[in-house]
Amino acid sequence: MNKFKTISLYVMAIIYLLAGINHFLNPEGYIQLIPDYLPNHSLVNILAGIAEIGLGLGLLFGKTRWLSAWGIILMLIAFVPSHVYFIQLNSCIENGLCVAPWIGWVRLIIIHPLLIGWAYLYTSKKGGPRVDS
């Protein structure tokens, strides 16, 4: 794996580890992003945090990297309803994150697919990136 892809992998792992930890340090912000139709918002938040931490750690090991990368892709797809809900809230959570509505759309239709594509680079069962350049 070339130097850039190695750094990219570690950056991605750190992002998911920190995001997962943040679910426990600042649960209110995440809980407010969970759509009303889902039950037990606290449990959903805890499970999401555990998933992000576990998947972030899994990226660090060649034998689990491909599985963690696919897990991240599935997790990001599972998070789409939260992004849609955030847009429905006019990209503003009471006493929390409040951004211009267009930012909610950018997160959903640009950033989210880029994150999925980034994870896809590491879905090779050999533990390395799918694309070698």
Annotate 73-116 with DSSP letters as a single string.
HHHHHHTHHHHHHHHHTTTB-TTS-B--HHHHHHIIIIIHHHHH
Domain assignment present for 109 = yes
Residue 129: the pLDDT is: 65
Rounded CA separation 69/122 (Å): 6
- To the question of pTM greater than 0.85 for the whole model, the response is yes
Domain assignment present for 132 = no
Residue 127: the pLDDT is: 56
Domain assignment present for 131 = no
Domain assignment present for 126 = no
Domain assignment present for 25 = yes
* 3 state DSSP class of 20: helix
Residue 130: the pLDDT is: 61
Q: Based on the structure, what is the number of domains in the chain?
A: 1
Residue 111: the pLDDT is: 96
- The sign of the dihedral angle between the CA atoms of 7, 71, 49, 82 is positive
Q: Which residues sit opposite 98 in a β-bridge?
A: 92
Residue 132: the pLDDT is: 47
Domain assignment present for 127 = no
Residue 9: the pLDDT is: 96
Domain assignment present for 129 = no
Domain assignment present for 130 = no
Ranges of the chain whose pLDDT falls below 70: 127-133
Residue 1: the pLDDT is: 72
What is the span of the domain harbouring residue 80? Answer: 3-120
Residue 71: the pLDDT is: 98
